């Protein structure tokens, strides 16, 4: 009887710990970091990029979090004769809804990604850039511990308005809309829950 009681107590504790990550008042901390470098063969050229987008959120009620991602991205293209650089500051407010119990929970995230930057050629500013969008991304989280969640998600449904305004020129605007649910190329990340 004592072993049964201890086993049931442990099962209840594990279930409570798994559900505790997404309860009201908890904080979620995570983000994205990337670096890419491509060398172009037979040409003295390269392309490299770097981005960092940390995010923080708060559970305003059980299974509902709101937060903000903020960061910077940079890319450089060098074809051997000139260097093109793009730098952009970004912000991405988000709301996330979790569904499920135990160690696995599905989630949907609504985000509003925005960015503002400049483009330069050989250190001379050539234009300003701006982008605004909205995205609905599905995914699921696995909680191996009470403070760590491993997430798999896809981009999902998105809309983006991008503009480029050359120095002394006329602004060009591009609108894009799509559904990107490629399960063969998911985003994988780790979030921390406090």
Q: Where are the alpha helices (DSSP H) in 125-178?
A: none
Give tens-digit pLDDT for 164-190.
Answer: 888 878 889 999 998 876 655 667 778
pLDDT value for 185: 61
Nearest one of 186, 127, 188 to 162, comparing CA atoms:
127
For the chain, what are the domain ranges? 2-24+57-69+89-193
Give tens-digit pLDDT for 37-73.
Answer: 888 777 778 889 999 999 999 999 999 999 999 999 9
Give the mean pLDDT of 94-103.
92
Residues in the chain: 194
pLDDT value for 194: 83
Give the mean pLDDT of 137-146.
91
pLDDT value for 21: 81
In degrees and rounded to multiples of 5, residue 193 shows phi and psi of -115, 125
pLDDT value for 117: 93
Give the mean pLDDT of 123-129.
88
In degrees and rounded to multiples of 5, residue 63 shows phi and psi of 70, 10
Mean pLDDT of the chain: 84
In degrees and rounded to multiples of 5, residue 21 shows phi and psi of -65, -35
Give the mean pLDDT of 82-88.
90
- Whether 138 has a pLDDT exceeding 50, the answer reads yes
Give the mean pLDDT of 90-98.
96
- Percent helix, percent strand, percent coil in the chain, to nearest 5: 10, 70, 25
Q: Where are the alpha helices (DSSP H) in 81-183?
A: none
CA atoms within 13 A on the CB side of 58: 2
How many whole angstroms separate alpha carbon 140 and alpha carbon 155?
13
Region 2-24+57-69+89-193: CATH code: 2.40.160
């Amino acid at each position: 009887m004592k072993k049964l009681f201890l086993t049931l107590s442990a099962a209840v504790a594990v279930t409570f710990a798994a559900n505790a990550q997404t309860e009201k008042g908890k904080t979620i901390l995570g983000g994205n970091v990337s670096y890419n470098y491509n060398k172009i063969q037979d040409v003295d050229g390269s392309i490299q990029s770097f981005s960092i987008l940390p995010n923080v959120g708060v559970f305003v009620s059980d299974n509902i979090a709101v937060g903000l991602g903020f960061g910077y991205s940079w890319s450089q293209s060098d074809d051997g004769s000139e260097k093109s650089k793009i730098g952009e500051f970004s912000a991405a407010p988000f709301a996330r809804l979790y569904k499920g119990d135990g160690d696995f929970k599905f989630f949907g995230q609504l985000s509003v990604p925005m960015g503002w930057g400049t483009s330069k050629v050989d250190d001379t500013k050539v234009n300003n850039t701006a982008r605004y969008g909205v995205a609905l991304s599905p995914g699921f989280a696995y909680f191996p511990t009470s403070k760590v969640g491993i997430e798999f998600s896809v981009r999902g449904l998105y809309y983006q308005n991008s503009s480029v305004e050359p120095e002394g020129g006329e602004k060009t605007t591009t609108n894009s809309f799509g559904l990107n649910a490629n399960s063969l190329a998911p985003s994988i990340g780790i979030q921390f829950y406090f």
